[in-house]
Chain A
């Protein structure tokens, strides 16, 4: 169509219009760059964060190589410090958060029966800001060296570190925060306003609930980080004294602000994972979630409590017995709602007819590893014994149990569970199971020995350790484990290429798992408009209830073909989606997003003309965005 016409010289505006028209055809690179379709944005989030996952993993492997033997000399101390800083920052801000965002994008609109999110262009903006923020941070590698202050960036060390690394870190996280906030508001509004008729809050799938709770957490926690980062950037760039005791500042201010953000952040990372597991388990056990209200309310309780536990990162800073006791008790109490979830998940499996497919294995892997993470978390809350464990490898083991054994396992469950919906192909089951078992083995081999190393007195963030401290064997095991994990990821990549990219996987069909929620009621991959007709929701697990009714004893009975229930969606196939109003593609979100890294570079190099140029780009993007018609 458009490609066939002979190109003639066009003005800039005319070119942009042409690009936009091309984009609307859903073909070619421009249609991805200008897309506002939540499914495409979700796929871009997914692929981008998986690439960052590989980068973060390479840092981890290099860290493990250096620590495999005592007094090793594979990387120098400076490089080591840069690696663990980039590993942590990458995994938290560029992997787990955006991977969760990928699933918010991919499935939330489908689960609530919507055609897109509330603000499609803002959604594209979130993605581009995330991508550019990540690239901005990584550009530090070629611009004088990456940050070396740790992912937690404690002042006054981060104020004093030479070079531009910390500036890249502080401004990069600031940019990523804008992306998170935009998507937090977007999904909150989407879930509250875009639900299909009948989809009451108490019929929402638990994953959607957890998306909503996470959005609230993002909205309340990220600004706190923004404040701390502004203080740090002002200290570094303009000589402010927020953390300088000699000028009346206080070093602990950073820690209070950072952890007031940082603890809710932990739940920003884990609640979406819990939501995924709460969807996968019922599907494969073929039973509804056990105690839906308890699972939902415990998620909300965790979110509230997460703002009242931050001092458990600061027990050793000397805040005194009253503060330590109070925060010790709140930290202990957060185990209650967490425990409720675990018991309810086991209740979901109990009495089911469990099909042991890859998504279920990963979901169960999540529970089994998260339990260890949760219990070691309770042990950490015990203030006096935590004086010993704080900042040791025991803590490293603990939070990897939560964020890798927990979040990453659950996100892989989500990948195996939902990607067939968007690619039309199933993953190869054998490779999937191999991936799971290798990863479970590698994970335990890496992180359980770290617990022992921590108890044997090995602190975190050390580029080396002496021999004769009884640490050798544990570190060697951990390094071997890390490479087993890497092998499992290789199996995953092979599987993804073979099954999805080369399209050798089984054809998924609309409903490969006998699913319960609305996304399984439409074709795989879904049409751009998702639902030809907006569904009417009559129950929790709406799609299941169109396929089955419960008899007197609560046993499900398939709905007879041709029955009154549930056929309306299939009729819509011939409809072809004509006449459905969809938002037009737009390149303005990308243009606006481009402004941020330019502003960032301007501040780092104290080139205020560059800052002004970045502001102009940003405003230009917003101006075009504001005046652009919503659809053509």
Chain B
């Protein structure tokens, strides 16, 4: 009895607090303006990945409520009370246990099917008109190289950032962008949350990642694999142009600047 009173005394102020946290969570996550919010996707892959997340989250939430509910009911209904003697010594119930072993199996297989189909879809080869970009992770900046956009000497357009001035990756809206990821020193990870999930950039190895932006705008991203001292400052910005024309205009302007400086960089110059 006394323990229960103590329990209630602490529990009562605790519950509203937790509720506040949960409620603010629900509103906060819908904040579409948050620049790296995975719940506000602006790209095909990020959107589908969010749907898969929710597809797993709702049943998980339901199971959580059921289990936590059963736990609380058991604690309240079967708590010690004066006059309640020793309970019946139940050692188990094999049929029931077989059911609660097999039932989750079916729920989980229900998750596996859409998971596998999306894994295969998101690893598809790039389409013929995809814009290729070579991405290199360098401690602590990104370098973007457009092999199909070259100046008069055949040198590709190259953008290199610094920890202070993150590199900009310009792409046209709606067109598939085929990234070839690698790194020059240690492992990094390319992540622009509102466009697509991350993919590692590994030295001596090339990884592939597709991006399809569905809305023009600027989308920040950053390195997602710990890569040393200034890992937190290894950022990038993806600028999605509203048309192929404006993207081309930007590219020509950059090529001209590149030819003038004689070196292959734009943002955050010095290497």
Closest A residue, CB atoms, query B61: A375
Chain A residues near B3: list those with CB within 8 A: 355-357, 429, 433
Q: Of B154-162, B218-226, B255-263, which binds chain A?
A: B218-226
Q: Of B46-54, B141-149, B169-177, which binds chain A?
A: B46-54
Q: For the side of the interface on A, what is the size category?
A: 35 or more
CB pair A81–B92 under 8 Å, yes or no, is: no
Chain A residues near B25: list those with CB within 8 A: 448-449, 451-452
CB pair A290–B78 under 8 Å, yes or no, is: no
CB pair A390–B229 under 8 Å, yes or no, is: no
Q: State the CA gap A349–B68 with chains docked (Å).
A: 13
CB pair A251–B36 under 8 Å, yes or no, is: no
CB pair B97–A291 under 8 Å, yes or no, is: yes
**Residue from A78, A157, A371, A381 having most chain B Cβ neighbours under 10 A:** A157
CB pair B186–A325 under 8 Å, yes or no, is: no
Q: State the CA gap A377–B65 with chains docked (Å).
A: 16
Query: Out of A318, A346, A464, which one reaches B71, CB within 8 Å?
Result: A346
* Interface membership of A336, Cβ < 8 A: yes
* Interface membership of B93, Cβ < 8 A: yes
* Interface membership of B187, Cβ < 8 A: yes
Chain B residues near A550: list those with CB within 8 A: 89
CB pair A317–B115 under 8 Å, yes or no, is: no
Q: Which of B74-107 contact A (CB under 8 A)?
A: 74-75, 78-81, 84-94, 96-97, 100-101, 104-105
Chain A residues near B136: list those with CB within 8 A: none
Q: Which of B1-43 contact A (CB under 8 A)?
A: 3-4, 6-7, 10-11, 14, 17-18, 21-22, 24-25, 28-29, 31, 33-39
CB pair B204–A251 under 8 Å, yes or no, is: yes
Q: Which of A588-620 contact B (CB under 8 A)?
A: none
Q: Of B127-135, B194-202, B242-250, which binds chain A?
A: B194-202
Task: Quote the shortest CB–CB distance from A271 to chain B (angstroms).
Answer: 18
Q: State the CA gap A78–B100 with chains docked (Å).
A: 49
Chain A residues near B194: list those with CB within 8 A: 457
Given that A288-B89, A445-B21, A470-B37 are contacting pairs, would A353 and B78 also be in contact in the complex, using a CB cutoff of 8 Å? yes
Query: Out of B49, B120, B228, which one reaches A385, CB within 8 Å?
Result: B49
* Interface membership of A170, Cβ < 8 A: no
Q: State the CA gap A568–B189 with chains docked (Å).
A: 66
CB pair A473–B60 under 8 Å, yes or no, is: no
Query: Out of B46, B87, B94, B208, which one reaches A291, CB within 8 Å?
Result: B94
CB pair A368–B197 under 8 Å, yes or no, is: no
Q: State the CA gap A460–B223 with chains docked (Å).
A: 10
CB pair B92–A347 under 8 Å, yes or no, is: yes
CB pair A390–B185 under 8 Å, yes or no, is: no
Task: Quote the shortest CB–CB distance from A149 to chain B (angstroms).
Answer: 8
Given that A316-B197, A332-B112 are contacting pairs, would A354 and B88 also be in contact in the complex, using a CB cutoff of 8 Å? no
Given that A77-B229, A473-B24 are contacting pairs, would A346 and B70 also be in contact in the complex, using a CB cutoff of 8 Å? yes
Given that A350-B78, A388-B46 are contacting pairs, would A154 and B115 also be in contact in the complex, using a CB cutoff of 8 Å? no
Q: Which residues of A pack against B, CB within 8 Å?
A: 77-78, 81, 148, 150, 154, 156-157, 160-161, 245-246, 250-252, 285-288, 290-294, 316-318, 320-321, 324-325, 328-329, 332-333, 335-336, 339-340, 342-344, 346-347, 349-357, 361, 364, 367-368, 371-372, 375-376, 378-379, 381-392, 429-430, 433-434, 437, 440-441, 444-445, 448-449, 451-452, 455-465, 468-471, 473-474, 477, 548, 550, 553-556
